[in-house]
Amino acid sequence: MSHHYAGPQFGFPHGDARLNLTDLYAFPKPGNDRKSILIIDVHPSHTFDPQLPTTTVPFASEALYELKIDTNGDAVADIAYSIRFSPFANVAQTATLRRVEGAQATGTGDDGQVIVEGAPVSLQREAHVTEAGDYRFFAGWRSDPFFFDPLGAVNNLHFTGKDFFIDKDVCSIVLEVPNSALGPKEVGLWMRTLDGAGGNWVQADRGAMASQGVFLPGDESEAYLAGEPVDDARFVATFAHSLQHSGGYTPEEAQRVAKTLLPDIMRYDHTRPASYPDNGRALTDRALDYFLSVLTNGKIKTDGVPAHSDLLADFPYLGPPHTTIIDRE
């Protein structure tokens, strides 16, 4: 997804930074072939244009944060992990993680088997990790692992190699799950946020693959973010039109490439190493280099920005935040 942008050109869904999905990661747990690490990053600490801090409240209590899993390749969820947060009060917040299977996994309810309840949200540099059986759970502020030069992106792709995100933070939801909970081999993953502030659940954001949902839907962006992967064929023409403009593809080539980008699902096989875009996404994978190459038809292959060096060797794998909530207030 990699949608860290806000301002005149890109805005947060429903005007709320806490509903904004940034990145999805999936990789085998280092040193343990029985488990996988799944990371949903949301709520960037700063907007890009103008460059201002967002709210210090990490997660929206009136929202649902979901990870959808398709186990049979039909682009319809068979499993969902749903995270709901308590209201932010007395500089504290807690999280409840649920697992939903079958027909309920396609729905928009706050149901399912409770895996973790009342887990503390991390607001400072220390990572509060909650364990429940074969699961480990983390939610809170962390150093943003995303690396990219957005100033170059908005300057007609004239990159300088300057990483806007090197000192920025993000709110992360990190799950360590047994591979038996995912399926025997390859699954499809995507994430979404649901906004319940108006009394009904409304999908605010969704995505899986890095940046394409931000740059390619054009005038249909709102419909795209409110849609489901199973219906993504309707956006092939929109993606193709954007690719013709950005990369000089012929109409036929643009259609072919657009079809490789949709449905917007990340394929992940826990029996193989993570390697974006073919299998999941590791925290150091150069996801934006791949997207730039597609966007420009191979004319630009990199923005020259390296991966971040503050990643951890163990759970929750993301480095501590650069600025704590106390620093920001």
Alpha-carbon distances of 200 from 62, 63, 192, rounded to whole Å = 10, 10, 16
134/149 Cα distance (integer angstroms) = 38
Q: What is the pLDDT of residue 7?
A: 41
For residue 214, which of 7, 22, 66 has the smallest C-alpha distance?
A: 22
At residue 96, the 3 state secondary structure works out as strand
121-134 pLDDT, tens digit each: 999 999 999 999 99
pLDDT digits (tens, 9 = 90+) for 253-297: 999 999 999 999 999 999 999 999 999 999 999 999 999 999 999
| Overall pTM surpassing 0.85 (yes/no) | yes
- Please give the Cα distance from 143 to 179 (Å, whole number): 27
Token look-up 């060797």 returns 313
